[in-house]
A and B are shown apart, each in its own frame.
Chain A
Amino acid sequence: MKQIKVNAIKNGTVIDHITTGKIRKVLDILHLDGTDIVMIGMNLSSKKLGRKDIIKIENKELSELEVNSIALIAPEATLIIIKDFEVVKKSSLKIPEYIEDIISCPNPKCITNEERIISKFKLTNDEPAQVRCIYCEKKYLIDEVKIKN
């Protein structure tokens, strides 16, 4: 039964198992334009999470930047790629070891907030996810940093 639900789009990407409440942030980083066909499910029941949100986008493949950004916002999400109604790839997300240009440093004294330069962070801990700015060297929990749109 589940198979049918997931395969409801012909070609495109499904972002499944998004923790409820995080879907807005995920949509923000997806750079969808007015013509994209998007289906959104919220508060669906889920064996894994109890409740979950889901996004299905027709004819879209996510960029590496988008995938990494989603990993930061909703690390528990599953990424499913659909071709001709078939699941061709299913992968869980992983926060990259090195995060470039996705998040901004919360430290107001950091050079990244003084100059127009690309932010760079290193993942220092997985659970809970924690990153260190390579410039000011401050450590932050993922929930403390702002994800750029």
Chain B
Amino acid sequence: MKNLISMRDLSKKEILYFMEIAELIEKGELIPDMKGKLAALLFFEPSTRTHFSFATAMKKIGGQTITMRGTSGTSAKKGETFADTLQTIAQYAEIIIMRSPVEGAARFASEVVDIPVVNAGDGANQHPTQALLDLYSIMKTQGTLENLRIGVAGDLKFGRTVHSLVQAMSEFHPKFKFISPSFLKMPAYIKDDLTEKNIEFEELSEMTDNISDLDILYVTRIQKERFADLEDYEKVKGSYILEKSMLKGVKKNFKVMHPLPRVDEISTNVDNTEYAYYFQQAKNGVYMRQAIITILLGGVK
């Protein structure tokens, strides 16, 4: 494997290979040595958390990073094409990690340069490292990815993270509960894919009473700005806030996940329960990104 651009490119076997290497790294059974390797972190839109996670991952495996920031995927204003910018950077670094608001930017970069490219998010399209770390977190807490009951709550219409998660989990025979306000439902093209693969899903509008049979509840933020009417927001908001009191009667293996940052969709009184997993999830992100960089740089013998 040379690049990591889209979950669409990965087979089930490849997904499981990423899990395996991340686990070996976490357990200290594989200690990658990326000394002398430089990762170019190209962030054409701000994302402090993703940047921090990648930089941490690269440093923990002995490598170094340089960062280039910008507001757009192009340097056209300076008279240099995007392709030229990428070619130049490829002369300095061993791997490019790219975040861009432009959809398909990472795919294009992978066609232009000879060094590996990792997509760290391209607009509303893909964020494969997030999907892989989510899967790794699910695997760690459940011991398997197969036959799980997964609830996904919040903004299901615009949430790139939940789209990738649902797509990626589809290989592993899950049952889904989609919990959202009616106008933020899962898009038809995602549901069509699920129907095609014979994957069961339910669409619900309340968290209450709907989580006791779940193995995983993946919560995402509903942005106020999505509502035309603030009054509507205030009305539905409460239905998508997870409170400690709602966790009575959940399964023993139940875990709550969230891509972070959260606002108030998970009450802080959930944090100290055995079900909260979102901070460990962020930590898993570092192991997974160490695994991704190591694999792409040929560091697994």
Chain A proximity mask over B39-77: 1 for CB below 8 Å, otherwise 0: 000000000000000000000000000000000011000
The secondary structure that dominates the A interface is loop
Across the interface, do A109 and B101 meet the contact criterion of CB distance under 8 Å?
Answer: yes
Across the interface, do A136 and B104 meet the contact criterion of CB distance under 8 Å?
Answer: yes
Question: What B residues does A110 contact at CB under 8 A?
Answer: 102-104
Given contacts A135-B107, A137-B6, A137-B126, A114 and B189 within 8 Å (CB-CB): no
B81 at the interface (CB under 8 A from A): yes
Across the interface, do A135 and B108 meet the contact criterion of CB distance under 8 Å?
Answer: yes
Across the interface, do A111 and B8 meet the contact criterion of CB distance under 8 Å?
Answer: no
B38 at the interface (CB under 8 A from A): no
Of B6, B122, B126, most buried by chain A (CB within 10 Å of CB) is B122
A139 at the interface (CB under 8 A from B): yes
Question: What A residues does B103 contact at CB under 8 A?
Answer: 107, 109-111, 135-138
Across the interface, do A111 and B105 meet the contact criterion of CB distance under 8 Å?
Answer: yes
Question: What A residues does B123 contact at CB under 8 A?
Answer: 109, 136
A67-113 interface (Cβ within 8 A of B): 107, 109-112
Question: What B residues does A117 contact at CB under 8 A?
Answer: 83, 108
B157, chain A: closest CB distance, angstroms = 15
Across the interface, do A137 and B125 meet the contact criterion of CB distance under 8 Å?
Answer: yes
B38, chain A: closest CB distance, angstroms = 25
Question: What A residues does B107 contact at CB under 8 A?
Answer: 111, 134-135
A115 at the interface (CB under 8 A from B): yes
A60, chain B: closest CB distance, angstroms = 34
A133 at the interface (CB under 8 A from B): yes
Question: What B residues does A112 contact at CB under 8 A?
Answer: 104
A117, chain B: closest CB distance, angstroms = 6
Across the interface, do B6 and A111 meet the contact criterion of CB distance under 8 Å?
Answer: no
Interface residues on B, range: 20 to 34
Q: Which residue of B lies closest to A139 (CB)?
A: B189
B82 at the interface (CB under 8 A from A): yes
In whole angstroms, what is the CA distance A143 to B271 when docked? 50
Across the interface, do A111 and B126 meet the contact criterion of CB distance under 8 Å?
Answer: no
Q: Which residue of A lies closest to B73 (CB)?
A: A114
Q: Which residue of B lies closest to A116 (CB)?
A: B81
In whole angstroms, what is the CA distance A137 to B124 when docked? 10
Q: Which residue of B lies closest to A105 (CB)?
A: B104
Partner of B74, one of A107, A115, A139: A115
Chain B proximity mask over A129-149: 1 for CB below 8 Å, otherwise 0: 000011111110000000000
Question: What A residues does B124 contact at CB under 8 A?
Answer: 109
Question: What A residues does B81 contact at CB under 8 A?
Answer: 115-116
Partner of B102, one of A109, A116, A133, A137: A109
In whole angstroms, what is the CA distance A18 to B105 when docked? 38
Question: What B residues does A139 contact at CB under 8 A?
Answer: 189
In whole angstroms, what is the CA distance A21 to B208 when docked? 55
Question: What A residues does B102 contact at CB under 8 A?
Answer: 109-111, 114
Question: What A residues does B6 contact at CB under 8 A?
Answer: 137
In whole angstroms, what is the CA distance A21 to B204 when docked? 45
In whole angstroms, what is the CA distance A110 to B102 when docked? 6
Q: Which residue of B lies closest to A137 (CB)?
A: B125
In whole angstroms, what is the CA distance A63 to B18 when docked? 45
B80, chain A: closest CB distance, angstroms = 12
Chain A proximity mask over B100-141: 1 for CB below 8 Å, otherwise 0: 011111011000000000000011111000000000000000
B1-23 interface (Cβ within 8 A of A): 6, 8
In whole angstroms, what is the CA distance A9 to B103 when docked? 48
In whole angstroms, what is the CA distance A110 to B83 when docked? 15
Question: What A residues does B101 contact at CB under 8 A?
Answer: 109
In whole angstroms, what is the CA distance A4 to B124 when docked? 56
Question: What A residues does B126 contact at CB under 8 A?
Answer: 137
B104, chain A: closest CB distance, angstroms = 3
B175-211 interface (Cβ within 8 A of A): 189
A49, chain B: closest CB distance, angstroms = 31
The 10 closest A-B pairs by CB, nearest first: A135-B104, A136-B103, A111-B104, A136-B104, A109-B103, A111-B108, A111-B102, A111-B105, A109-B123, A135-B107
Q: Return 11 A-B CB contacts under 8 Å, by A number.
A: A107-B103, A109-B101, A114-B102, A114-B105, A115-B81, A115-B83, A116-B81, A117-B83, A134-B107, A136-B122, A137-B125
